[in-house]
Structure 1
C-alpha cells in the first residue's frame, strides 16, 4: 500500500503578507513563489485579487511565472471576488480558487448579519461560480473552530456536493487546543456523508502558540492538507510554520501515515529569502531555520554529537538546507559566476542592464568584505529592487560624527523628487542624528515603531541588515537596508520605509481575506 501524500498549501504571499508592515511588491512575490516552487510546495496562495489592483497584478504575475505548483487566489463568497480571482488565474498552468464565508454564530450575527440558511446558500453559490473558472475549488468556513458542529457538517456537505474538492477547516482566532481540534477533524470526516469526495485541510493561527500542534493533530486525524507559511508569518501571532510541520512529519514517520513531496534542502534558503524581503528576522532559537537550531554549546552535547550525531540531533542540518548555501564569491569573481549563482538562487534579470547594475553593486560590496555569501546576494538584490520601485527619496550622501563626550551629528544629502536637498542634525547617537536629519528634509509626519539590527552573515565585516517600521494614519510599513556600515544601513532602511508609507495605495483592509 502506497503512502498517502500530505499536501502543503503555502500562504506566505497572502496571509503572511498580513503581518503588519510585511507587504510585498509584485516582483518580490514572484521571487518567493519561485523559491516555493523549487521547494516543490503543492499549492501557493498568491494573494487576494479583489483587494487592490496591485494584489490582482501580483497573483497574475505568480500565475504566469509558476508552472509546477498550483497557484491559488483567495475570494470571499461574492461574485465580484470570484470573478476577479478567476481572471487573475487565467494564465496559470494549475489554478485554484479558494473561497470562504464565516460560519460561527458570532461571525454570522455580528459581521455578516445573515441567517444560517442564507450562509449555506451563498457558500454553495460561490463554489458553483468558482467552478466556472477551474475544477480546483477550495472552500473555507471562516472561524470553524467556534462554529456549531451540526451546522458545520451541513455547510461542508453542501459545498462538497456543489464541487469543492478541498474543504479547509480554519482555527481563525487560534482558540483551539490540539486534542479538541483533532477531534473536530475526525468528527467532521465521519459525520459529513460525502467527506470521501474532498481533501480535508486545516489553517491554524498561532495566538496561543499552538498552530503547529493543532495542524499535526489534525493530520493524525485524517487531514491531508496543511495551510502554513514560511517562518510562521501571518496575521497577529502568525500561522503554522511550514518548516516545522514538514520536518515533524518527515522526522516522525513512525507516527504519521503520510509525508510531503517537498525538497526540504530548500527550506533554509527560502526562509532567508522571506526574511530578507519582509524585514522580519528569524529568531536564533527558531526551530529548523534559526541560527542556533543545530548549534551545541553544552560540553555534554558537543561530546555526544562528536561521537554520534544522533545523540542530540534528530535531523541532519544539511537535510533542511544549512549546507546548501555556503557558496562564497569574492572580489575576483566574474560576471558569469555572479550570474550563475544568482540563477541557482532563482534570481533572474529582466535585462542585461539590470544584471550589470547588480554586478556593479556586487563589486562595491566585494571591496568592503572579503567573502560574499548567498545571504549577501539576496540582500543585494532585495535592496536593488526596493530602490528601483521607490524613487521618490534616495540617499546620496551621509556623514556622521560620534566621539566620546560630544553630541553625535549627521549631515545628510537626499535626492527628493529629482532635486538634491541637505540637512544637518544632532541626536542621541549617530543613527538618531541621521534619522533627524532625514526628517528635517522630508517632514513625513510618521512615527517610528521599530528599529531592529541583524547581521546577515558572521564576522566583523558582515553586512548589517536594518529593519525600520513606521506608522502614519494607521498604515504600517517596514523598510529594509543593508550595508557593512550600520549607520548607512539604518539610513537606507528609514528612507525605504518613507518611500513606502508616502505612496498612497487603494486597498481593501487585508483582514477581509483572513481565514
Structure 2
C-alpha cells in the first residue's frame, strides 16, 4: 500500500497572479530552439557518447536546423574540451549557429570554460546554480545574500576574461537552477543581480533561462511563474527569456507550450526527450505539435526516421514504438473502427485541402513516412502473428520496422486472395519480397565478390550479370562491405541499419543479413535481406535486395 500522501507530501502553492494573461493567448510562432542533447542529454546516458558519436550528432542537429546547440561541459570533461576546440579550430560551426558551453560557479572552471571557446565567432557561456530552499539549506548552507554575491562575483570574472577576447561575441546565459521550486521574489532578485552584473543591453546580449529542474507542479503553475517573472525582470527588452523543462510529472511539453504563452521566447530540450530522470523536454514533439497548428517550427523533421536512427545510434537509447510522431507503430491502427474511419478519411482528403483524416493528427508523408502500415489487423494475419510464424517455422527474426513493412505486404495479398495465408505461403512471400525480389530485368544479378584493402577503407569487386546477359565487374570503396557494395552499384542508397541473424545451428547453419535503406526523394525506408553460409556474402546480397526493392536501377546506373 502507498503511504498516506497527506502526511508525506504537500501540494505546491499557487502563484498569486489574478490578472494572468497567458490563458487567453494563442501561439503564433515557433520559439528559439536550443538543443542540449550533447550536454544534458549526454550526461543522462548509461554510456556517454564518445567523440565520434558526439560529432555525428552535432552535425545532425545542424542539419535539422538548430541555431543554438549546447556542445558540452568543457571544464568538467576532457572529451568535451577537446570536442569544443575541434569544432572551433576545424571551422565546423556554421556562421549562423551559436555553440553554448556550461559551467558551475567556480573560478577555475569559469577560466577553463573561456579557454575552451576562444576564437569562436559567437558563443553563449551558461552559468547555473541552485537557488531553491532545500538546496540553499541542505546542499550549500548559504543564504540568499550569499548566493547573490556568488553570482555577481563570477559574472564579474567572466566579464574580465571576455573583455580580453573582443573578437568573439560573448553572450551570458544565467539559469537559476531549481527555479520552479524557489520563491519567486528570490528568483527575481538573483536574476536581476545577474542582469545588472553582466550589464545586459544591446551590445551585451543575455539569456535568462528558467528551468523546471524537477517538475513539482501542474503546467499552469509553471506558466504563472513565467508570466510573473516576464513582467518583472529588469531590462526585459534586452533579455531573451528561456525555459528548460524536465519531465518528472510527464508534462514537460505542456509546461513549454504554456510557458511560451506566458512570455518565454526560447526553449531548451533534447530530441525525443532524452535527459536526466524522466527526461528533458521532447523537442520533436513540441516542434511537431506547433506544425499541426499551422506554425512552421523552423526545424526539419521531414525525414523523421533518419533523425530517429541517428539519435538511437548515438545515444544507444531505443525510441518507444508508440512515441508521438516518430514511433514505429504510431501510425498503425489495429482497431476495426479506427481502420474504417482512416480509410474513409483518406478517400475524402483532397490534396490541397486542410488535413482532416480521423485519428491522424498529422500527414505521415510530411515526416517522410509512408501510408503502407497505417491500417493493420490483429491476430494471426497481423504483424505479431506473421512475425511469430516466420520465427517459429523458419528461424527468421525480423526487426520491428521490418515486421510493420512485411505485414502490410502480406495483408494486401490476403485481401486479394480472400483467404488466410499459412506459414508456407508467408515464407514464400518473404522469399519473393526480400531474398529474390523481382527486378524486371533492370537489376544486375549477383554472382560473386572479392574484398580488397583500399586507402580510403574497405574495397569490393562485384561480379554481376546485367539484364542483357552481359557480365561485368563493379568496384566500390566504403567503410565496410555493405557501404562498399552500395558504392560499387553507383546508387544513392543510404543504409540506415544493419542486423544479422543465424538460421539454424551446426555446420550447415546459414546466416541472414537484414539492411534498412533509404533513397533520396522516396518516402520511408525499405528492407532487404540476404541469406548465405557466409555472413559477408549474405550482407552483400541484402544490399542488392534493398536496391532492387526501390526499383532504382535505371538505364545507365550500372
TM-score by length of 2: 0.59
Are 1:208 and 2:265 an aligned pair?
A: no
Deviation at 1:246, TM superposition (A): 1.0
Deviation at 1:141, TM superposition (A): 0.4
Asked if 2 retains the 8 angstrom alpha-carbon contact of 1:95 and 1:136, the reply is yes
> CA 1:294/1:182 → structure 2, altered by over 3 Å: closer, same or farther?
same
**Structure 1 residue aligned with 2:230:** 189
Structure with greater contact order relative to length (CA < 8 Å, sep ≥ 6) = 1
Asked if 2 retains the 8 angstrom alpha-carbon contact of 1:167 and 1:201, the reply is yes
- Deviations 1:332-377 (CA, angstroms, capped at 9, x unpaired): 79xxxxxxxxxxxxxxxxx83489451534247999xx9965413x
Cα distance in structure 1, aligned partners of 2:208 and 2:315: 30
Are 1:304 and 2:344 an aligned pair?
A: yes
Cα distance in structure 1, aligned partners of 2:134 and 2:268: 24
Deviation at 1:459, TM superposition (A): 5.2
SS at match of 2:170: coil
Cα distance in structure 1, aligned partners of 2:259 and 2:310: 29
**Structure 1 residue aligned with 2:64:** 39
Cα distance in structure 1, aligned partners of 2:327 and 2:356: 19
SS at match of 2:224: helix
Cα distance in structure 2, aligned partners of 1:222 and 1:46: 26
**RMSD (Å), alpha carbons:** 3.8
Deviation at 1:96, TM superposition (A): 1.0
**Between 207-216 and 83-92, the greater mean CA deviation after superposition:** 83-92
Cα distance in structure 1, aligned partners of 2:538 and 2:487: 11
Asked if 1 retains the 8 angstrom alpha-carbon contact of 2:321 and 2:327, the reply is yes
Superposition pairs of residues 60-99 of structure 1, within 5 angstroms: 60-63=85-88, 64-67=91-94, 68-99=96-127
Deviation at 1:226, TM superposition (A): 0.6
- Deviations 1:449-504 (CA, angstroms, capped at 9, x unpaired): xxxxx9997758399xxxxxxxxxxxxxxxxxx9989xxxxxxxxxxxxxxxxxxx
Cα distance in structure 2, aligned partners of 1:140 and 1:58: 24
User: Matched residue pairs, number?
Assistant: 372
Asked if 2 retains the 8 angstrom alpha-carbon contact of 1:71 and 1:94, the reply is yes
SS at match of 1:135: strand
Superposition pairs of residues 101-112 of structure 1, within 5 angstroms: 101-112=129-140
Are 1:118 and 2:222 an aligned pair?
A: no
Cα distance in structure 1, aligned partners of 2:301 and 2:263: 23
Cα distance in structure 2, aligned partners of 1:400 and 1:170: 51
> CA 1:192/1:374 → structure 2, altered by over 3 Å: closer, same or farther?
same
Bigger Cα Rg = 2
> CA 1:80/1:361 → structure 2, altered by over 3 Å: closer, same or farther?
farther
Cα distance in structure 2, aligned partners of 1:95 and 1:171: 24
**Structure 2 residue aligned with 1:461:** 529
SS at match of 1:49: coil
Deviation at 1:156, TM superposition (A): 1.1
Unpaired stretches in structure 1, ≥5 consecutive residues: 324-329, 334-350, 384-397, 404-409, 411-453, 464-481, 486-515
Deviation at 1:320, TM superposition (A): 3.2
**Structure 2 residue aligned with 1:440:** none
Superposition pairs of residues 379-418 of structure 1, within 5 angstroms: 402=505
**Structure 2 residue aligned with 1:138:** 173
Deviation at 1:118, TM superposition (A): 1.4
SS at match of 2:479: helix
SS at match of 2:75: helix
Cα distance in structure 2, aligned partners of 1:97 and 1:483: 51
Cα distance in structure 2, aligned partners of 1:181 and 1:484: 55
**Structure 1 residue aligned with 2:188:** 153
SS at match of 1:193: coil
| Alignment counterpart, residue 270 of structure 1, candidates 307, 325, 331 | 307
Cα distance in structure 2, aligned partners of 1:290 and 1:363: 30
**Structure 2 residue aligned with 1:430:** none
- Deviations 1:99-119 (CA, angstroms, capped at 9, x unpaired): 101110111122222221111
Cα distance in structure 2, aligned partners of 1:169 and 1:204: 8
**Structure 2 residue aligned with 1:318:** 365
Cα distance in structure 2, aligned partners of 1:110 and 1:92: 39
SS at match of 1:44: strand
Asked if 2 retains the 8 angstrom alpha-carbon contact of 1:269 and 1:321, the reply is no
